[in-house]
Chain A
Amino acid sequence: MTYALLITVFVISTCGLVYELIAGTIASYLLGDSITQFSTVIGVYLFSMGVGSFLSKYIEKNIALTFVQVELLIGLIGGASATLLFLMFNHIDNFRILLYSLVAIIGILVGLEIPLLMRILQQRLDFKDLVSQIFTFDYVGALLASLLFPLLLVPYLGLMRTSFLFGLFNLGVALWTIHLFKDELPWRNSLRSTAFILIVVLVSGFAFSDKLMGIAEAATYQDPVIYSTTTPYQRIVLTGNSKDLRLFLNGNLQFSSRDEYRYHEALIHPAMASLNQPQDVLVLGGGDGLAVREILKYPSVRSITLVDLDKAMTDLFKSQEVLTRLNQNSLNNSKVKVIIDDAFVWLRSTSQRFDMAVIDFPDPSNYSLGKLYSDTFYRALKKVMKPAGMVVVQSTSPFYAKNSFWCVDKTLASVGFNTTPYHAYVPAFGDWGYVIGSLSPFKAATQASYPAGLRYVNSETVTQMLCFAPDMLPTVTSVNKLNNQSLVHLFESEWSEYVDAH
């Protein structure tokens, strides 16, 4: 029996360390900054273990029973911990409270394990041997866990399955202990059946962990997911309820049907209305057809060329009924030509010329997107513009990322555009910025030039849009080039500042 109990020490210490590693890893995944996450998780965990050890002295009778109960609890909580953390991440305001409570609970329970076992073993071993053997097995178990975790468990099982698996080990220990102490334990049968029920729970968790991961993703979105697909370029998710339709690309909100009109009216009309009879319009990005919808409000337009990378995206917005209702079937309009290509590559190869170009790319959050905001890109853009042409670029938020915003402005100016920066308030995004680049000075349109029926833009709102408060002015400026990617650096630092603060 002694031998059996020492193996138990080994198993539980492996499990204990694995839970700690799981919590640390998930915290780093979800919150970033792995050093902070790991050291705080380890700290809380060790401290809680101390608390557990301390509390063990209040357990006077029936030590084996308490030990079994502790094992059952660790099995359940530890085993479900990864799933719990993933699923709850988007549902609770303060994830850290959940994280540290979970770590603390597991820590306290694990802290109870060894002292209890020592007391069980104390009648069977000399104190000297007891201490030496218990701790030997404890530390060897820790070593095994710390090796298995990065080399086998995370790569091949993933975090959710790993945590279920080790939960099962704890339950196994519980069952074994019940078996070893079958003559002394009260409520043997109910303990045993609890263990079996929990085993069924964890095994199903293990088996369905892919599904659970899917739910965890769905939980990222407030509303039911009504459509989702993964294309070679991105993950497209559409969520909706009776009032609001939202599009997410790679988890980032692209629009909310409640206020997208603000974003798109502001993107199109200040420039479009100021042009004299624009005929040929280019749209880069914007495969949702919402910018095209606004452009089609100008009768002078005879062609719209939309270049988007992702065919799945434009197909979706050509065919799905809820979406064609939203974009007023713009992508199926006979004036619209959809080209599936890389914008930069296409731009350098086209011989067409345009009166207006709308640049609606995702934010410059990585180097390949950063290239689409470079001076080289804008130079290629300038070449496809007619002499009186105008471009407009969505340029992130002048409030959250003011230096990024002004970097776009400066970059456009550096290739010879007259720039007119402006911004609009879009509730789903916050204060959002655009820059008009024109080859002759920009003059805002008179009210009569705006199409009828706009809900947000008119000559007065445009006047407001042109005005920047002092807190939106840049503190550093630079031109974004392929060989410095300064915009990506600015964007990264500004956005992470904002994320950290919240």
Chain B
Amino acid sequence: MSTPISRSTFLKTLAALGLSAVAAKLLAQLKLSSNVLDLFHQSNYFAPKFTCRLLGPSQKVGHMLRGDLPTGPVKETKKTTVTIIGGGIAGLSAAWWLKKEGLSDFVILDLEPAVGGNSRSGKNQISAYPWGAHYVPIPNKESLYVRQLFEELKIIQGYAAGGEAIYDELMLCHQPQDRLFKDGAFHDGLVPKRGLQKQEEDDISRFFEKMIAFRQAQGSDGQPAFAIPIALSSSDKQFTELDKITMAQWLKNNNFATKPLLWYVDYCCRDDYGSTAAFVSAWAGIHYFAGRRGTAANSEPNAVLTWPQGNGFLVEQLKVPLGNNIQLNALVTNIKKADGKLVTTYLNHESNQFAAITSDFVVLATPRFVANKLLAKSSGQTSASANLAAGNSHKNALAAAHAPASTPSYAPTYAPWIVANISLKNLPDGQGVLPAWDNVSYYSPSLGYVVANHQEITTRHKPTVITYYFPLSQQEPKASRQALYKASPEQWSKTIVEDLEKMHPGIANEIISIDLWPWGHGMVRPSVGEIWGESRQKMKEPKGNIFFAHSDMSGISNFEEAQYHGVEAAKIILAKQT
């Protein structure tokens, strides 16, 4: 009676058993299958039950910026001493300094319905949340403007006997600060440390030793090798040479080859610069680790300051005294010189009317690609270009020698980002340590998420908002940008939820809503030669009474750089004025 079962019968049996018999049939017998199917349906994020909205910088206006800037008859002309174009951190900081020094006759023009630029924030019933910048490290000794602002805003509450600043502890990032999802569980901190091989551990500690040495290093000019703002860094060749290779190359040159370290460094480059270690210059890459030397009387060194609305908190504070100085929805289309003054024309894209402001000085605090466009336009109009050039003739001639007649020489590239604010009924704990402020996955091309209401002092169990950050660094910016805008909000939501599901299975069921914010030109990319090359030096040069102020001019993008350029522009104007 020996009847060996043939292979096909075996497979059939298996299929029959595995699927129908065990799952469907028996569950059906128990009248459960419909429930189970229901549950499956709920967890099915391909048919989201949550709302999903596409927000973000005005796309209509964005189009105008990319194409030919509109022109039209000017309805009214106002007068002011200074026109600040762009109300991001740089523009607001210029205003802060001018006002502090007694110059209140200025206007800030911003094309958006709110100031803040990349540091804007939003708010819903659950929490405020950032749309971009979300933290500032405690400032270094040399970061004087940042310290001054923080003193004014009482973020620095005083100084301890040893001279170290005392920070408002509600703003210092609360514990637990960060956790990393790796090997199926969350671990404390972002540096991979669990389950490493000896070689990997050695690499990581050797890397940090080198970074500490860089942090303490000084150039022959007595300046710190890596300062914040970077303008105060040493120009000693032994350090600036690092700008000539990529971070990845530097790692290779120094025999760093183990995966956890390479992941970590790459993560940091993506976090700070929106680009990979294979792209950013070693100088920029190292700056992330070696630049921060902040200490405090009441926290660990290198702590960070954060708020539910991220750096939107600083925007709100800077904005307070500026109520009447700000003109929103104002797309600047032209700057020209007339009768020794500068005439800034803008389109109020709400009322669809053009207006102009005549002033002695202009602070051009827009991203550089916009500034280029405004200036190219001006130089296209013969009289204006001649006038503009007159202020600074030989330098402009130099710039012209490097570039085609109508395009300015400095054209940085930008990393596109997508940011999502996701409201959750509950934040799943996940395996391992409890939710931290910053939650990162070792396996994701995104940067994970930040819990917006982490700093709250309530013990209530409330719904949560998480801010998900994703720099599109896997392709060249142009391709990424196209992908960014091509995908529908539903497609983006799907991608994001799938990514989060890997860290938190079942999180899809907790989502109340997803709001998306694409940043087509999120961050300037510190490519090789960008920071210490010639063109960045040149682009700082004012054009007549037009002064440039934007974080782009540092080649890297953060609060300290934006503020520095804003204040520096204000200082020059104040000096010229008296």
Contacts and interface: CB of A to CB of B under 8 A. Distances in A.
B5 A482 contact: no
A482 B2 contact: no
A434 B557 CA distance: 50
**Residue of A133, A144, A233, A369 most packed against chain B (CB within 10 A):** A144
A369 B175 contact: no
B457 A371 contact: yes
Interface residues of A, number: 47
A47 interface: no
A233 B461 CA distance: 7
Interface string A458-491: 0000000000000000000000011111001000
B36 A152 contact: yes
A125 B4 contact: yes
B176 A485 contact: yes
A366 B172 CA distance: 19
Given A232-B461, A344-B457, A482 B170 contact: yes
A3 B17 CA distance: 12
A125 B458 contact: no
B174 interface: yes
A236 to B, nearest CB: 15
A144 B22 CA distance: 9
B474 interface: no
**Residue of A152, A206, A367, A482 most packed against chain B (CB within 10 A):** A482
B169 interface: yes
A482 B174 contact: yes
Contacts of B173: 483
A183 interface: no
Nearest to A34: B431
Interface in A337-383: 342-345, 348, 366-369, 371-372, 374-377
Interface string B158-178: 000000000001101111110
Given A3-B5, A125-B2, A485-B175, A371 B459 contact: yes
Task: List 4 A-B pairs, minimum CB-CB distance, nearest first.
Answer: A485-B175, A344-B457, A483-B172, A342-B458
Given A482-B174, A483-B169, A124 B459 contact: no
A74 interface: no
B460 A309 contact: yes
28 contacts: A2-B3, A2-B5, A3-B3, A3-B9, A3-B13, A126-B4, A133-B4, A140-B14, A156-B36, A157-B32, A169-B26, A344-B457, A345-B458, A348-B457, A367-B175, A368-B459, A369-B459, A371-B459, A377-B457, A481-B169, A481-B299, A482-B169, A482-B174, A482-B457, A483-B174, A483-B298, A483-B299, A485-B176
Contacts of B457: 342, 344-345, 348, 371, 376-377, 482
Nearest to A285: B459
Contacts of A482: 169-170, 172, 174-175, 457
Contact of A126 (B2, B9, B30): B2
A14 interface: yes
A230 B2 CA distance: 62
Contacts of B170: 376, 482
A488 B459 CA distance: 14
Contacts of B461: 232-233
**Residue of B5, B10, B26 most packed against chain A (CB within 10 A):** B5
Nearest to B175: A485
B18 interface: yes
Nearest to A361: B459
A342 B462 CA distance: 12
A126 B4 CA distance: 9
Nearest to B43: A155
Nearest to B35: A156
Given A367-B176, A483-B173, A483-B299, A129 B460 contact: no
A261 interface: no
Given A376-B170, A485-B174, A344 B458 contact: yes
B54 interface: no
A372 B457 CA distance: 8
A63 interface: no
A366 B298 CA distance: 22
A197 interface: no
Interface in A1-43: 2-3, 6-7, 10, 14
A215 interface: no
A140 B17 CA distance: 11
Contacts of A157: 32
Given A482-B172, A483-B173, 5 more contacts: A140-B18, A345-B457, A376-B169, A481-B299, A484-B175
Nearest to B173: A483
Nearest to A151: B505
A2 B460 CA distance: 61
B460 A233 contact: yes
B303 interface: yes
A159 interface: no
Q: Is the interface of B mostly helix, strand, loop or mixed?
A: loop
A148 interface: yes
Contacts of A232: 460-461
Interface of B: 1-5, 9-10, 13-14, 17-18, 22-23, 26, 30, 32, 35-36, 39, 169-170, 172-177, 298-300, 303, 434, 457-461, 506
Nearest to A136: B10
Nearest to B436: A367
Contacts of B18: 140, 144
A10 B303 contact: no
Contacts of A369: 459
Contacts of B169: 374-376, 481-483
Interface in A151-180: 152, 155-157, 165, 169
Contacts of A377: 457
B39 A156 contact: yes
Nearest to A14: B22
B45 to A, nearest CB: 16
B23 A342 contact: no
Contact of B1 (A124, A140, A371, A488): A124
Nearest to B169: A376
B4 A129 contact: yes
Contacts of A6: 5, 13
A10 B4 contact: no
A10 B22 CA distance: 11
A483 B36 CA distance: 43
A129 B3 CA distance: 9
A124 B4 CA distance: 10
B455 to A, nearest CB: 8
A491 to B, nearest CB: 13
A344 B456 CA distance: 10
Contacts of B460: 232-233, 309, 342
A133 B3 CA distance: 11
A306 to B, nearest CB: 16
Contacts of B26: 165, 169
A140 B14 CA distance: 9
B23 to A, nearest CB: 7
Nearest to A369: B459
Contacts of B299: 481, 483-484
Contacts of A2: 1, 3, 5
A7 B177 CA distance: 53
Contacts of A343: 459
Interface in A44-72: none
A345 B455 CA distance: 12
Interface in A194-249: 206, 232-233
A42 B2 CA distance: 35
A206 B26 CA distance: 13
A107 B337 CA distance: 91
A203 to B, nearest CB: 9
A485 B1 CA distance: 72
A484 B301 CA distance: 12
A309 B174 contact: no
A404 to B, nearest CB: 16
A133 B5 contact: yes
B459 A372 contact: yes
Contacts of A148: 22-23
